[in-house]
């Protein structure tokens, strides 16, 4: 498990996805992103805030789609940013595009 920018956000890869997301005891919000994606950079600060606020109840993870094409294909990611909430090993909800903090809080709270 490696963190991003010394925050609570996980950086996951094809090698760590199962352990860090599917088998995580907490719900996990996964941000499918890429370095070249401007909207991905726009939503990043919101995800950091959520990671800090929910740190004991939810994990926020980032997966670079360019570096992890098998996971991108597995979940049919066609547009980024795509956010997927996993709980108990199952995909509970998926949203595409930049979301406001209140929209993300609502999504998270539906599954907590």
Residue 87's Cβ-count burial label (10 Å; 0-12, 13-18, 19+) is: middle
Q: Is 3 a catalytic residue?
A: no
> Which of the residues 11, 13, 14, 37 is marked catalytic?
37
Residue 3: strand pairing partners: 10
Phi, psi of 30 (to 5 degrees): -100, 130
Is position 40 annotated as part of the catalytic site? Answer: yes
Please answer whether residues 59 and 27 qualify as being in contact, where contact means their C-beta atoms are separated by less than 8 angstroms.
yes
Q: Write down the catalytic residue from 40, 46, 61, 77.
A: 40
Q: Collapse the DSSP code of 6 into the 3-class scheme (helix H, G, I; strand E, B; otherwise coil) and give the result.
A: coil
Active-site annotation, residues: 37, 40
């Amino acid at each position: 498990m490696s963190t991003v920018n010394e925050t609570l956000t996980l950086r996951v890869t094809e090698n760590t996805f199962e352990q860090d997301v599917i088998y995580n005891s907490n719900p996990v919000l996964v941000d499918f992103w890429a370095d070249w994606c401007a909207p991905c950079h726009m939503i990043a600060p919101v995800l950091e805030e959520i990671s800090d606020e929910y740190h004991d109840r939810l994990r926020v993870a980032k997966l670079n789609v360019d570096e992890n094409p098998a996971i991108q294909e597995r979940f049919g990611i066609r547009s980024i940013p795509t956010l997927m909430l996993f709980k108990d090993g199952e995909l509970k909800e998926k949203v595409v595009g930049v979301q406001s903090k209140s929209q993300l809080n609502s999504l998270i709270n539906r599954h907590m």
